[in-house]
């Protein structure tokens, strides 16, 4: 029984000395054994290193031993207690602890003072659990907290209140542990008691990798000192601290303090302490110099320390352009070290601290460079599909089948009803793809028709559209969509509805847990997790396979714990869901490297079991080295010190935040000397979002002390200079080459011969897949964002011999020819969404007004014949008929929609009122409504507007005129026709747009009306009365308004605006109520003092003819271009307004970019009315 200290600085090879001495111990007796005690996170690494060192010393290639084993403290407890009552007691996982604490917090919420408002805050449970762990490890009981509370002074009231709350929570937690006989947190205490009766005289314990112990660990160490044959402590320390501890500023303060404590614990127990053994086996003089410099630089002497490296390759400092350049250069340097200098990947480690900037970069860069790597970081279950599945499942029940919840559920692909579990892997992949497509179809139907809530649970099938299919005819696409979506709906409904009913009827917690488990197994979730695991195993992705296996095991373990903890309590569904999701999201996966020869990537703070041959420390900026630590515990640093002062020697909390900050130089020291050959320190000059990166003061001190030149590492080299440090693999070269070629093109420089050779090599001798990818990527350099002209055969297939269109289609063509091609050539469209669009509201207005006028015509009445009450009654009847139609069912989907429906109804009634008032004043009568011309949806109307095109092609324009009004001059019998178009927003006739083809509707409708005059009125000699817009609205007037003028003001808001024929007889008949010096409330017309009628909207007959002729020419030019196959990317633009691009759904397709030379707007001129008319007349003369 004795204690021995091994110590040495970080540059020494501690492991070699320990294993050599351990070998001698083992050789001295057959029964002897050695137990290594190390921090848990380096246990596997230490096992590998110990076996490697022993094989070197024994000069064997393969080494295995049972007499030397590596343990963490918890694993040591398992080793000794696994078959005892101590270890057979109930256990509680980290998640289980959180569940218990969460339950206690909820129950004690009203009794808490300081923390009452924090109970439901994110992260608070973790904070409480972390502090309770500290208390347990420090052997502090709830009664101890009560004593501390009593000893505090009056001016420490805040701390007293906090301690009162924690004492209450901690007391409840300890009571729970006792009640359920859970002793997991007392395992080390139990082990200490157990070892008292054990004979460990032939056992050597080597304790290494620690700078401090918890109270429980220290108690166990004391037991080992008394019982074991020998206990050796290995510390990173420059000298023994027998008589006194090092000064607080000393680099080795923590290690020296631990030495001092252990030495005197041994002396107090009368345990012999052997002579110390100092490890001085440093082999690299440069790293020894770094070691000495760093230790000396921490002393407050101010003495200048001069040193120099013998080999400049030992220590390199890089400043990279940005984090991306930094990781890429590190990756390429790793490849160079392996390829040219004989290093193995396992000899190299990358350390970092800034997870946000660096974690996402490693995988794409290292995979591209074909570097095997192991990410030594904690990964939680938070984003696993099983967690998403369960969250969505419970949300569907809580929110009753909302769209987002259903799609989250289905997109996890854990619910796969078309897989019976007996399929091969290829069949499973095909089934998954088929169901994925069915879910896509279902989503489209849901969005188009708003199928949520009760639509998912009813027996009646969904309807996609109304279609007609004769018996024996093949299934149409719409029928297939309807069938697929209903199948998905039924499968989901038949599974979920019975489950929700059963879950909601559960009386106890255990009933609910059993219900959930049986449901998941029944619908195949367990089976899918196994399939996922096997699939990734077959792909050689061992980590992914293990994650899926652990996820299901974690879920089962969590359910077991829930049953143990809350199983006999009345079932609270909200609590059940909250605890389940909380526990799963908090679960951490256990990770072990899948292969030995790989680069290790880990955070800088972790202890290392062995030295690397090469260490890269990246992201070494002043923000992370030293770290900017924050106190995230429930007590401040000052409060923790006050608590610590009240504890006895065997009880102590973890270091405070300020104490941890003081340890930063030692953390950096261990990281710097984690290598035995080379150390690379790198930092970025710029970070995310343009932040400026500054070098770490630690790194800067090294650069100055060793007179090192800081090497600059750019994201990419100059194209004319070949730089071997930028060369990696063929895959990584693809991206680099594109950058270089782009640079050469932009700056009109040459490409270095080295780059050119690599370029040609990849094209000629690269792997076929990479070569093809490279060719495709390189096309981007010469690619012009110019649409190709369509081949005649393609045009023929798209449009045929007759181009059927509408006014709005050709207007879209003049907005942007490419937009027209996308919409009507390729027939691309956005997914339908169940929402009240302006088009839907407009359709409602049109139908309502049309039905009102048709009802009047059938009853042989006019608006003027009806009273206002009759108008309102008729409007209400028509609206009720419309609201019952399927296409308007959205207006009854919610309270908000019902309000909108009311507003739309009021609008229609107000318009009907205005139309009645207008009919009482004007000689213009409503002649026809919803006048169809051409053929739409197999319904034929009046003759379409047909335009002859070249090559025996033609264009036929169809459409529907909202309203035709008629005026007959009683003196001459002359007929006049005008077109009225209903608009839900303010509109005026725009001559500029009419000239450019952006507003062709009104002139086209007028042209069609005159063309069909014989069919409409029985004679050909009909004059155009005009073309007008009517604003469909329920206007709001600004107060105050006198009651006697209110109706006149309201009527004025419905004034017709557009074009008028300059014709005296017509103008006189437009508003028979018009008085001198007054403006009409019906048309944009006023009577002058002289009695003459005047309007800014009038045009001569010849002007109308010119507009109609130009309008037809626009149709012809558009048709010719379409049949020529021209597809120009030319969005219209005027007065800083992007006419075509403002709300275009195809911007991601066309990729129009005005910064590209080849992409230009079609800039429209700004023209006045007179200028347009003058141009039209000039064009007409030239045509003649």
Average pLDDT for 862-866: 80
HSE-CB at 555 with a 13 A cutoff on CA atoms is 26
Residue 982 phi, psi (nearest 5): -80, 135
Q: How far is CA 708 from CA 315, 671, 682, 784, 1055, in A?
A: 8, 19, 13, 48, 83
Q: What is the pLDDT of residue 1061?
A: 92
pLDDT band for position 1024 (50/70/90)? very high
Does residue 939 register a pLDDT over 70? yes
Count CA atoms within 13 Å of residue 692 on its CB side.
1
User: What was the pLDDT predicted at 93?
Assistant: 72
> d(Cα 509, Cα 512) in Å, to the nearest integer?
5
pLDDT reported for residue 468: 40
Sign of the torsion angle spanned by Cα atoms 435, 437, 443, 448: negative
Q: Is residue 1113 within 8 Å of residue 770, measured between CB atoms?
A: no
Dihedral (CA of 738, 739, 745, 750) sign = negative
For residue 690, pLDDT beyond 70: no
Q: Is the peptide bond before 186 cis (omega within 30 degrees of 0)?
A: no
pLDDT digits (tens, 9 = 90+) for 21-49: 888 888 887 788 889 898 887 787 888 78
Please write the tens of the pLDDT for every residue from 705-731: 888 889 998 888 888 888 888 888 888
Instruction: Look up the pTM and report it.
Output: 0.76
Examine the pLDDT at 466 and tell me if it is beyond 60. no
Beta carbons within 10 angstroms of residue 789's beta carbon: 13
Lowest mean pLDDT among 198-212, 832-846, 857-871: 832-846
Instruction: Reduce the DSSP state of residue 196 to 3 states and report it.
Output: coil
Per-residue pLDDT, 1109: 92
Residue 649 has pLDDT above 80, yes or no: no
Where does the pLDDT of residue 462 fall: very low under 50, low under 70, confident under 90, or very high at 90 and above? confident
1118 near 1020, Cβ under 8 Å? no
1033 burial level (CB within 10 Å; 0-12, 13-18, 19+): middle
Alpha-carbon span 1138 to 961, nearest angstrom: 28
Do 520 and 526 contact (CB within 8 A), yes or no? yes
Q: What percent of the chain has pLDDT over 70?
A: 94
Q: Residue 449 belongs to what H/E stretch?
A: helix 425-449
Could you read off the pLDDT of 733-770 as tens digits, one per residue?
Answer: 888 888 888 888 888 888 888 889 998 888 888 888 88
Nearest to 693 by CA among 318, 317, 315, 321: 321
- 755's CB contacts (< 8 A; 6+ apart) are 719, 722, 737, 740
Highest mean pLDDT among 211-225, 377-391, 515-529: 515-529
Is the pLDDT assigned to residue 657 strictly greater than 70?
A: no
Lowest mean pLDDT among 299-303, 957-961, 1063-1067: 299-303
Predicted pLDDT at 807: 92
pLDDT over 70 at 475, yes or no:
no
Q: What's the angle, vertex CA 259, arms to CA 253 and CA 264, rounded to 5?
A: 130
Q: Is the pLDDT of residue 467 over 50?
A: no
End-to-end CA distance of the chain: 121
Give backbone dihedrals phi and psi of 274, rounded to 5 degrees, phi first. -75, 170
- What DSSP string runs through 1037-1062? -PSP--HHHHHHHHHHTT-BEEEEE-
* pLDDT of the residue at 472: 43
**pLDDT value at residue 469:** 40
788-808 average pLDDT score: 90
Averaged pLDDT score across all residues of the chain: 85
The residue-averaged pLDDT of 1151-1161 equals 87
Of the pLDDT bands very low, low, confident and very high (cuts 50, 70, 90), residue 351 is very high
Distance CA 1177, CA 1165 (A): 18
> Band of the pLDDT at 978, cuts 50, 70, 90?
very high
Place of tokens 């956005």: 830
pLDDT digits (tens, 9 = 90+) for 409-426: 999 999 988 777 778 888
- Please check the confidence at residue 632 and state whether its pLDDT lies above 50: yes
**How confident is the model at residue 630, as a pLDDT?**
72
| Contact (Cβ atoms closer than 8 angstroms) between residue 844 and residue 882 | yes
Does the annotation flag 816 for ligand binding?
A: yes
* Average pLDDT for 362-374: 89
What is the rounded CA–CA span in Å between residue 567 and residue 1032? 64
Least trusted range by pLDDT, from 43-47, 376-380, 404-408, 715-719: 376-380
Q: Is the pLDDT of residue 293 over 80?
A: yes
**Range of weakest confidence among 534-538, 590-594, 994-998:** 590-594
Residue 184 confidence (pLDDT): 59
> Is the pLDDT confidence value at 1045 over 60?
yes
Confidence of residue 471 (pLDDT cuts 50, 70, 90): very low
Residues pairing with 948 in the sheet: 954
Residue 114 to residue 635: CA distance in whole angstroms: 12
Best-predicted range by mean pLDDT (303-317, 533-547, 946-960, 1033-1047): 946-960
Are 273 and 230 contacting, i.e. CB atoms less than 8 angstroms apart? no
Q: What is the pLDDT of residue 689?
A: 62
β-bridge pairing 1022-1031 and 975-983: parallel
98 sits in which H/E element: helix 94-108
Is residue 35 a contact partner of residue 204, using CB atoms and an 8 Å limit? yes
pLDDT tens digit sequence for 59-91: 665 555 678 888 888 888 888 888 887 776 666
Quick one: pLDDT band at residue 591, thresholds 50, 70, 90?
low
Question: Would you say residue 1036 has pLDDT above 70?
Answer: yes
Indicate if the pLDDT at residue 888 is higher than 90. no
The shares of helix, strand and coil residues in the chain, as percent rounded to the nearest 5, are 50, 15, 35
Average of pLDDT values for 132-158? 78
Confidence band, pLDDT 50/70/90 cuts, at residue 654? low
804-840 confidence digits (pLDDT tens): 989 999 999 999 999 999 999 888 888 777 667 777 7
**Is the pLDDT assigned to residue 950 strictly greater than 70?**
yes
């Amino acid at each position: 029984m004795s204690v021995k200290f091994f110590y040495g600085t970080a540059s020494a090879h501690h492991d070699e000395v320990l294993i050599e001495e351990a070998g001698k111990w083992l050789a001295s007796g057959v029964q002897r054994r050695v137990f290594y005690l190390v921090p848990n996170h380096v246990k596997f690494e230490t096992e590998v290193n110990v076996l490697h060192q022993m094989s070197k010393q024994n000069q064997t290639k393969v080494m295995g031993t049972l007499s030397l084993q590596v343990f963490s403290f918890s694993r040591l407890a398992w080793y000794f207690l696994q078959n005892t009552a101590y270890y057979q007691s109930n256990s509680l996982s980290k998640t289980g602890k959180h569940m218990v604490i969460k339950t206690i917090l909820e129950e004690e919420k009203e009794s808490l003072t300081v923390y009452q408002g924090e109970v439901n805050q994110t992260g608070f449970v973790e904070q409480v659990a972390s502090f309770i762990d500290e208390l347990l490890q420090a052997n502090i009981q709830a009664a101890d907290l009560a004593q501390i509370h009593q000893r505090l002074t009056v001016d420490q009231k805040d701390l007293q209140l906090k301690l009162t709350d924690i004492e209450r929570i901690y007391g409840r937690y300890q009571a729970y542990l006792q009640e359920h006989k859970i002793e997991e947190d007392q395992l080390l205490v139990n082990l200490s008691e157990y070892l008292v009766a054990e004979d460990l005289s032939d056992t050597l314990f080597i304790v290494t990798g620690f700078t401090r112990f918890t109270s429980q660990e220290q108690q166990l160490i004391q037991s080992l000192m008394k019982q074991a044959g020998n206990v050796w402590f290995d510390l990173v320390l420059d000298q023994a601290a027998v008589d006194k501890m090092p000064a607080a500023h000393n680099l080795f303060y923590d290690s020296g303090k631990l030495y001092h404590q252990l030495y005197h614990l041994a002396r107090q127990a009368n345990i012999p302490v052997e002579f110390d053994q100092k490890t001085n086996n440093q082999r690299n003089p440069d790293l020894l110099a770094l070691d000495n410099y760093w230790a000396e630089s921490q002393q407050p002497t101010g003495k200048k320390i001069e040193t120099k490296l013998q080999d400049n390759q030992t220590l390199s400092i890089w400043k990279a352009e940005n984090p991306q350049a930094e990781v890429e250069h590190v990756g390429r340097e790793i490849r160079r070290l392996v390829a040219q200098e004989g290093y193995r990947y396992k000899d190299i480690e990358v350390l970092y601290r800034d997870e946000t900037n660096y974690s996402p970069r490693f995988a794409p860069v290292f995979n591209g460079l074909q570097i095997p790597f192991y990410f030594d970081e904690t990964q939680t279950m938070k984003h696993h599909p099983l967690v998403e599945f369960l969250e969505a499942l419970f949300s569907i029940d809580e929110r009753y089948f909302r769209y987002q919840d259903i799609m989250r559920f289905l997109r996890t692909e854990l619910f796969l009803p078309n897989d019976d579990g007996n399929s091969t892997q290829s069949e499973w992949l095909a089934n998954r793809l088929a169901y994925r497509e069915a879910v896509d179809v279902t989503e489209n139907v849901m969005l188009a028709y708003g199928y949520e809530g009760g639509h998912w649970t009813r027996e009646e099938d969904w309807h996609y559209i109304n279609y007609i299919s004769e018996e024996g005819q093949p299934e149409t696409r719409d029928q297939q969509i309807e069938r697929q979506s209903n199948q998905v709906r039924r499968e989901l409904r038949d599974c979920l509805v019975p489950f929700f009913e059963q879950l909601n009827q559960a009386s106890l917690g255990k009933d609910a847990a059993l219900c959930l488990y049986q449901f998941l197994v029944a619908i195949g979730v367990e089976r899918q997790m196994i399939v996922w695991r096997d699939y990734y195993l077959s792909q050689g992705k061992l980590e992914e396979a293990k994650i899926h296996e652990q996820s299901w095991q974690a879920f089962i373990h969590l359910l077991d714990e829930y049953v143990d903890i809350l199983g006999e309590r009345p079932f609270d569904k909200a609590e059940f869901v909250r605890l389940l999701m909380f526990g799963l999201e908090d679960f951490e996966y256990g990770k072990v490297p899948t292969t030995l020869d790989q680069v290790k990537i880990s955070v800088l703070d972790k202890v290392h079991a062995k030295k690397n041959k090469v260490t890269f420390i990246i992201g070494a900026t002043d923000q992370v080295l030293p770290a900017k630590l924050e106190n995230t515990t429930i007590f401040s640093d000052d409060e923790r010190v006050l608590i610590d002062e009240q504890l006895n020697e065997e009880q102590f909390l973890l270091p405070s935040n300020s104490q941890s900050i003081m340890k930063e130089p030692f953390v950096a020291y261990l990281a710097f000397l984690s290598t035995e050959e080379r150390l690379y320190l790198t930092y970025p000059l710029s970070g995310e979002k343009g932040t400026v990166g500054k070098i770490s003061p630690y790194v800067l001190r090294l650069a100055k002390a060793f007179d090192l030149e800081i090497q600059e590492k750019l994201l990419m080299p100059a194209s004319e200079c070949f730089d071997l440090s930028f060369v990696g693999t063929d895959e990584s070269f693809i991206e680099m080459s594109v950058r270089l070629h782009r640079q050469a093109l932009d700056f009109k420089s040459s490409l270095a011969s080295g780059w050119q050779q690599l370029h040609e090599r990849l094209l000629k001798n690269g792997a076929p897949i990479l070569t093809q990818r490279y060719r495709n990527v390189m096309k981007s350099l010469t690619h012009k964002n110019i649409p190709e002209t369509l081949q005649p055969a393609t045009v023929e297939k798209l449009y045929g011999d007759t181009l059927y269109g509408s006014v709005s289609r050709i207007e879209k063509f003049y907005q942007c020819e490419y937009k027209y091609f996308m919409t009507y050539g390729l027939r691309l469209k956005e997914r339908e969404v169940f929402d009240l669009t302006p088009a839907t509201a407009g359709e409602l207005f049109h139908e309502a007004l049309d039905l009102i006028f048709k009802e009047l015509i059938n009853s042989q009445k006019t608006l003027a014949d009806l009273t206002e009450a009759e108008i309102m009654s008729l409007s209400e009847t028509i609206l009720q008929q419309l609201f019952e139609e399927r296409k308007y069912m959205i207006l009854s989907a919610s309270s908000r929609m019902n309000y909108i429906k009311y507003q739309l109804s009021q609008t229609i009634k107000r318009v009907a009122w205005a139309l009645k008032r207008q009919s009482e004043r004007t000689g213009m009568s409503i002649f026809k409504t919803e006048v169809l011309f051409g053929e739409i949806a197999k319904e034929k109307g009046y003759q379409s507007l047909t335009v002859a095109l070249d090559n025996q092609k033609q264009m036929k324009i169809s459409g529907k005129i909202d309203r035709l009004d008629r005026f007959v001059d009683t003196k001459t019998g002359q007929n006049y026709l005008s077109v009225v178009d209903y608009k839900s927003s303010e509109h005026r006739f725009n001559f500029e747009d009419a000239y450019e083809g952006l507003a062709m509707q009104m002139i086209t409708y007028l042209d069609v009306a005159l063309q069909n005059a014989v069919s409409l009125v029985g004679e050909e000699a009909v004059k155009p009365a005009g073309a007008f817009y009517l604003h469909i609205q329920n206007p709001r007037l600004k107060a105050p308004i006198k009651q006697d003028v209110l109706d006149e003001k309201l009527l004025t808001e419905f004034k017709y605006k557009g074009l008028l024929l300059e014709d005296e007889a017509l103008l006189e008949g437009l508003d028979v109520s018009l008085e001198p010096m007054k403006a009409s409330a019906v048309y944009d017309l006023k009577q002058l003092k002289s009695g003459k009628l005047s309007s800014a909207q009038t045009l001569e007959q010849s002007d109308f003819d010119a507009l109609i002729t130009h309008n037809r020419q626009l149709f012809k030019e558009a048709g010719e271009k379409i049949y020529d196959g021209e597809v120009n990317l030319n969005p219209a633009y005027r007065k800083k307004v992007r006419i075509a691009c403002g709300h275009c759904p195809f911007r991601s397709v066309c990729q129009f970019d005005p910064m590209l030379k080849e992409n230009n707007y079609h800039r429209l001129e700004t023209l006045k009315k007179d200028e347009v008319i003058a141009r039209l007349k000039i064009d007409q003369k030239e045509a003649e």
